[in-house]
Amino acid sequence: MTWLVTGGAGYIGAHVVRALDGAGEGVVVLDDLSSGLPERLPPGVPLVRGGVSDRGLLDRTIAGHGVTGVVHLAARKQVGESVEHPLTYYRENVYGLTVLLEAVAAAGIGRFLFSSSAAVYGTPEVELVAEDTPCAPLSPYGETKLAGEWLVRAAGRAHGISTACLRYFNVAGAERPELADVGVFNVIPMFFDALTRGEAPRIFGDDYPTPDGTCVRDYIHVADLAEAHLAAARHLAARPAGTDLTVNVGTGEGVSVRELADLVVGITGIREPAPVVVPRRPGDPARVVASAERIGRELGWAPRYGVPQMVASAWEGWLARRSRGGAAGGAATGQNRPEA
């Protein structure tokens, strides 16, 4: 197969590209490089520069590279930003997806993997969130992911496309330092950022109904997440056209913010200033932990890495970036120079 990976130069996308490429699948990347970095791509993987709303570019890329499957990761993903700019989120995450699905249907492509999110569940009041837990997203970001799932499944049914919606839980870590997340939007990089600036990491609330009072999340190593994409791609390829699969990609293990802060302090060795508790951040659910039963059963997938490895690999990436002078990017390599 040849997979078109949209957003393939991003933090998660580059890990997915490496997993597919390493397993011998053909890969072509479409990325507008708004946050993606060409040097994240392995040598020999073609990069087409552009967005998923550009139908002409999609048609040329699909035909020119003989694309037979799509992994769609290109999207905006910041919850807070989506509250301020909902129209941008709907345009890029929903309208962009309709254009992509039209191109996929017109080309007769039979496999489509969609990057969804645990954000579709909102505030699930259950110990383990199963895929049939009612979806009630709290932000425009989560709404666009849920609407995206509806679009993907409806297009799959109408056009005989096999589809998989992967609901990512809290993604962290890096397979190698240069692939680490360069954004400071999630808790682990936010803790690193505070500590390396001599400030105390902030724990948002310790009065939640959880064992230590801090929020509990299901952290998943990005390399394990990438393997889940490979497993889903193979699952679809082995089944009849029109198969649809919706799975949580999480570990089933909850880790509290306090436990995470202790790990970060231990792994970085930066003990002062110690983490401080500040008021709750509005909108944070107390506990969001996946049921990983379906993904294990359907895909035979299980996580290989735990939270200590996520923190340690993210820290290596953080240090590597600092040693490069803090620059987020670098020059494109010759092999991955954008085509368009």
Write out the residues near ligand UPG by the rule CB under 6 A: 77, 79, 117-119, 169-170, 186-187, 190, 202-204, 215, 217, 257, 281, 284, 288
Contact 300, 230 (CB under 8 A): no
| Residue whose C-alpha is closest to residue 7's, from 99, 95, 73 | 73
d(CA 162, CA 153): 9
What is the closest distance, in whole angstroms, from the C-beta atom of residue 152 to ligand UPG in the complex? 17
Residue of minimal Cβ distance to ligand UPG: 215
Q: How far apart are CA 128 and CA 169, in angstroms?
A: 12
What are 336's two structure tokens?
């991955």
**Active site annotation includes 95:** no
Task: Identify which of residues 79 and 151 has a Cβ nearer to ligand UPG in the complex.
Answer: 79
Selection from 33, 75, 79 nearest residue 281 by Cα: 79
Residue (202 or 229) nearer to ligand UPG, CB = 202
Which residue number, 81 or 102, has a Cβ lying nearer to ligand UPG?
81
Q: Which is nearer to ligand UPG, 45 or 97 (CB)?
A: 97
Beta strands in the chain (DSSP E): 2-6, 26-31, 47-49, 69-72, 111-117, 162-168, 170-172, 202-204, 216-217, 219-221, 244-249, 255-256, 276-278, 287-288
Query: How far lies 198's CA from each of 264, 288, 293, in Å?
Result: 14, 30, 42
Q: Most distant CA pair in the chain: distance in Å?
A: 58
Helices 187-196 and 257-268 cross at an angle (nearest 10°) of: 40
Nearer to ligand UPG, 98 or 210 (CB): 210
Structure tokens at 337: 């120079």
> How many CA atoms within 13 Å lie on the side-chain side of 81?
10
How many CB atoms are located within 10 Å of the residue 286 CB? Answer: 16
Least Cβ distance, residue 22 to ligand UPG (angstroms) = 26
Give the Cα separation of 295 and 158 in Å (integer). 25
175 vs 181, which CB is nearer to ligand UPG? 181
Question: Cβ of residue 109: shortest distance to ligand UPG, in angstroms?
Answer: 27
User: Could you identify the residue written with the tokens 């360069």?
Assistant: 182
CB 117 within 8 Å of CB 168: yes
Q: Which of 89, 141, 208, 305 is catalytic?
A: 141
Smaller CB separation from ligand UPG, 52 or 215: 215
* Residues classed as catalytic: 141
